[in-house]
Structure 1
């Protein structure tokens, strides 16, 4: 399966399972700093429909800060659209993305979407049900490809990583970090919430890279 096909299949799965979430679930603070789960969903919609020109204008309006512009766009959309409405739009955009959603590399979009999905599930103490192929693809990208929005490449440097629930490992030398694939994806994306679920002599080093920095909003 190509990465683009994997992205579409993952989006279809998320769209289906997220439909079971209720108002209280969407209102919970996500693992993405200062965003509710509702805001995270709005961000995913914006990523599939916002054009470069609109994004650039928003950044200029917020003093050149991508993070502030990104947060403002997500909150504005979430304030005017219910989770149900946003899910409906996301479901349509899966097949007809516009703007940045058409040109952003699919392997980075897959990582962005799964990282944010984990922001939602872990925030409400739900076990993620993401296919092994998808989490493995995200981990492969995280450790190999610098991403301007997710500092996972930097966070993983010099560590020996191993997923305990799927056949995935990275690195032959260095301190060891082990955990479930979804937990590794989340922590490498600078979400410290799941650090306690990881094991190994490299967890302290990874924590030092994750905790002092402000959480980045992927994508």
Structure 2
């Protein structure tokens, strides 16, 4: 066996259909109970508990207790990024596992990926940042550009505060529907928080889709596309 990370172990955890459904259900950054995840996976609560134990042991989930309830969520943004990348490979390789529907176009345009914006709008936003030197890119590494700090401070996002987080300030996340990168990291999360705080967009019920209002879309594009 070669030295290095045991990718087979992680692949085995993610590769089970029931566990894959559970992990996908948590891609919105929320937390669900074992009963709720059992419904998502289409298995009994007892079976779901067994799967959840394995995911916890594998470091893919976190657990929080609130009263009598126990809530499961993705362990961190790195796990979400891994899942988003796998979705991109699955999308390219096909076939589709789910039935297409009206949500598909909305999901591709804008959706939440753990705690940041993904989809066509997010990819276009990152492209604009790079073109205007707000951010720079060297391979897979994204960094603050020369005009970045002043740009973000002008719209109420303080980069120096974000740098104090344990998370990377900027990180490329491979977008499954576009198969190009959108912006993750603490900066990506701060941008999504601003979108929500300004009420430019809303989360679609029971979905990761993010829907912009007409005025919200104009405000979003004016702020981030210049």
Normalised-by-shorter TM-score class:
under 0.3
Q: Which of structures 1 and 2 has the larger relative contact order (alpha carbons within 8 angstroms, sep 6+)?
A: 1
TM-score computed with the length of structure 1 as normaliser = 0.26
Structure of larger gyration radius: 2
TM-score computed with the length of structure 2 as normaliser = 0.26
Between Structure 1 and Structure 2, the one with more strand by share is: 2
Between Structure 1 and Structure 2, the one with more helix by share is: 1
